[in-house]
């Protein structure tokens, strides 16, 4: 199994492949140089990309590239927060409903801080205000799902 991220240069642009899972069977730290000149470090073997290279990649991709998507391009992935850490740092950006809900999740990966959040009510109608009259979830772009995923758009 190959668990490295490769960024290759071609005549007309960049090709990027991001690892979608971690192989936890290899617990030793790896530090190697790949043929493309990038140095890999860490348990997952992700390459370390110099900051100036990240800046040039960001300029080529435009301002729509988020910092989160750039993290997967060579920096070691951040560990999740605890609910207590998330509340301490971001309490003012979370809804009153989220102040209670967040403690049901042991690990917090994403908070949807830039979403136009719905103000849910515990015990309120339509799943606390998060569903429509037909019982379907009302999607809010850039909000979280289970404090782990970001809602980007409806695809089906």
CB burial string 117-146: b at 16+ within 10 A, e below: beebeeeeebeeebeeeeeeeeeeebbbee
Average pLDDT of the residues in 90-101 = 94
Per residue in 9-62, pLDDT (tens digit) is 444 455 555 555 555 544 444 444 444 444 444 444 344 444 444 444 444 444
Tokens of 38: 């990038």
* pLDDT for 132 beyond 60: yes
- Cα separation, 155 vs 57, in Å, equals 28
* pLDDT for 66 beyond 50: no
Percent of the chain at pLDDT above 70? 51
Global confidence as pTM = 0.49
Quickly name the fold that domain 83-150 has.
Trypsin Inhibitor V; Chain A (3.30.10)
Domain residue extents for the chain = 7-71, 83-150
- What is the rounded average pLDDT for all residues in the chain? 70
């Amino acid at each position: 199994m190959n668990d490295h991220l490769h960024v290759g240069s071609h005549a007309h642009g960049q090709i990027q492949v991001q690892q979608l899972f971690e192989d936890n069977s290899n617990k030793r730290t790896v530090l190697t140089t790949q043929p493309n000149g990038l140095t890999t470090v860490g348990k997952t073997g992700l390459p370390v990309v110099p900051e100036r290279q990240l800046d040039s990649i960001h300029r080529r991709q435009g301002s729509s590239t988020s910092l989160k998507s750039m993290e997967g391009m060579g920096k070691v992935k951040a560990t999740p927060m605890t609910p207590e850490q998330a509340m301490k740092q971001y309490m003012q950006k979370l809804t009153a409903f989220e102040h209670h809900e967040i403690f049901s999740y042991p690990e917090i990966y994403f908070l949807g801080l830039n979403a136009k959040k719905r103000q849910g009510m515990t015990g309120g109608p339509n799943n606390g205000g998060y569903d429509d009259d037909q019982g379907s979830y009302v999607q809010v772009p850039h909000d979280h799902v289970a404090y782990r995923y970001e809602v980007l758009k409806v695809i089906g």
